[in-house]
Structure 1
Amino acid sequence: MCYSALVSDEVSVRELRNRTAEVLRRVESGERLRVTVDRRPVAELVPLASRTVWVPRRRAIDALVQADPALRDELAEALPDTVAEL
């Protein structure tokens, strides 16, 4: 599928300048917009992927410790000590 086929609408650079907040709300809601200058496409505005949810360090460590106490030893045996051994 061609990426440009995913763009649902066009917005002129003038409209972008005059109605920035409205245009950005459209993009934020999931729309993909092609920006044009003199009817010539020059850019595309697309929503950003959702942000990564961060887990507090202590919670991550607690989850790893609970997983399997023997796992660390097994991984240490299976993995080489240095990159050169790869």
Structure 2
Amino acid sequence: MEIGVRDLRNRTSQVIDAVRAGERVVLTVHGERVADIVPHGHRSRWLSGAVLRSELEGRSADEGLTGELAELAGQTLGEQ
């Protein structure tokens, strides 16, 4: 769905319903695309160590960054 800012004022409820249904809405000003209105993602605020390990598995940082992070955190994932 694409909607102009002026039309958005008159159809706000319809746009919100569309976004709630999972649709992405493109907001335009004078025909120019300026923003996307998208459904809010559901994220958990906390990841367990096991979930974090599985997310990070196979990814690596450069050695300098790894050292700096270990210094800041005081502990790495390998240390338990």
> Residue 50 of structure 1: CA displacement?
2.7
| Partner SS state of residue 35, structure 1 | strand
How many residues are matched?
A: 50
* TM-score computed with the length of structure 2 as normaliser: 0.52
2:13 aligned residue (18, 21, 28): 21
Give the corresponding residue for 1:74.
Answer: none
Q: Is 1:46 aligned to residue 38 of structure 2? A: yes
> Residue 83 of structure 1: CA displacement?
1.5
> Residue 20 of structure 1: CA displacement?
0.6
Residues 28-86 of structure 1: CA distance to partner in whole angstroms, max 9, x if unpaired? 1000011001100011000011364xxxxxxxxxxxxxxxxxxxxxxxxxxxxx828x8
Give the corresponding residue for 1:83.
Answer: 74
Query: 2:3 corresponds to which letter in structure 1?
Result: V
* TM-score computed with the length of structure 1 as normaliser: 0.49
- RMSD of aligned residue pairs (Cα, Å): 2.9
| Partner SS state of residue 7, structure 2 | helix
Give the corresponding residue for 1:57.
Answer: none
Percent of aligned pairs with the same amino acid:
42
Higher helix residue share? 1
